[in-house]
Amino acid sequence: MAARTTPQQPIIDGIGSDPKAVEANAGRAGRALMKALDRAVSIQSSSIERYVNRLRRKNPGASPQEIQRLLDKRFLTVAGGSGAGAGAAAAVPGIGFFTGAAAIGAESLVFLDVVAVYTVASAYLRGVDIQDPERRRALILLVLLGSKGSAIVDTVVGDLGKSKGLPSVTTMSRFSAPTLGTLNNRLLRTALKQVTKRFRWAWLGKIMPLGIGAVAGTIANRRLAKRAITNARESLGAPPATFPTPEKPEKPEDVSD
């Protein structure tokens, strides 16, 4: 019997392979991506909503476009900081190549987590339903892949004239659960190839000696982050002129966030 993908199962490839086998063949960056995606699936949507609503409360009168710019700025800051930390660790005398590479692998996992939060928050800002775990997975993969992800969406949806010119997330909102599962499988296979290639080059810069890795790590991650911001703009579309949801009042648990 063919394996099926459910919201709580790890994604398997299109031929029904064992998820453990897929993960084993994915490489370091590929495994980091799969773990980040699994965590993004399990994250509480209320946490993302509180994050965006907190930005709105702290910036009264700000438009959706201005809130998006704040999300972009925070994303770039956190992404660059994580890259510098891993690059500096790899350049510490005595750490060695393999230990440094392991530190960078952990940092890449953090970077992908940051991409996940940024993507889902940007989608929520546009009124996208972020309750469905598999929809969150698809959103993150779209932002990681950019135009390649959009092309896969177009392939899955078929030749629908009414979908031409619309952001990928708008087209994707019409997908049934089985179609969304098919889309995620295709997106993941492509993402495993692309992300592994991108992070391989980023790692080479981060393990340079004499402290250069810290600078290169920041530059590499900021470059990846800027690409993700561009991809998000293309896949999600521009922020709306007005907020699709009313601002929610502050709750006691939000104060410590």
> Which of residues 118 and 207 earns the better pLDDT score?
118
Helix (H) or strand (E) holding 40: helix 27-42
Of 228, 223, 227, which Cα lies nearest the Cα of 115?
Answer: 228
Span 246-252, mean pLDDT? 68
Structure tokens belonging to residue 257: 């966030």
Domain boundaries, the chain: 26-245
The whole-chain average pLDDT of the chain stands at 70
Q: Which residues contact 149 (CB under 8 A, 6 or more apart)?
A: 141, 142, 143, 168, 187, 190, 191, 231, 235
Length of the chain: 257
The pLDDT score that the predictor gives to residue 62 is 95
Q: For residues 237 and 252, give the distance between their C-alpha atoms in angstroms, rounded to a whole number.
A: 33
Query: The whole model's pTM is what?
Result: 0.69
From the centroid of its chain, how far is CA 208? 27
Mean pLDDT of the 138-149 span? 81
> What average pLDDT does range 111-139 have in this prediction?
87
Residue with the two structure tokens 């970077």: 111
Q: 175: left (phi > 0), else alpha (psi -120 to 50), else beta?
A: beta
Place of tokens 């609503």: 53
C-alpha–C-alpha distance, residues 142 and 126, integer Å? 16
Measured between alpha carbons, how far apart are the two ends of the chain, in Å? 46
pLDDT reported for residue 152: 75
**Is residue 88 predicted with pLDDT exceeding 60?**
no
Whether residue 71 is predicted with pLDDT greater than 60 in this model: the reply is: yes
Average pLDDT over residues 39-62: 87
**CA–CA distance, 20 with 169 (Å, rounded to integer):** 29
Distance separating alpha carbons of residues 3 and 108, to the nearest angstrom: 30
How large is the angle between the packed helices 133-145 and 96-125, nearest 10 degrees?
A: 110
Which has the higher per-residue pLDDT, 144 or 85?
144
Higher pLDDT, 17 or 68: 68
Pick the most confident of 4-13, 54-63, 196-205. 54-63
Asked whether 124 and 52 are in contact (CB, 8 A), the reply is yes
pLDDT digits (tens, 9 = 90+) for 94-117: 434 334 344 444 445 567 778 888
179 to each of 156, 168, 184, how far by Cα in Å?
8, 14, 9
Half-sphere exposure of 257 (CA within 13 A, CB side): 18
Say which residues have a Cβ less than 8 Å from residue 170's Cβ, sequence separation at least 6.
Answer: 163, 237
149's tokens: 């992800």
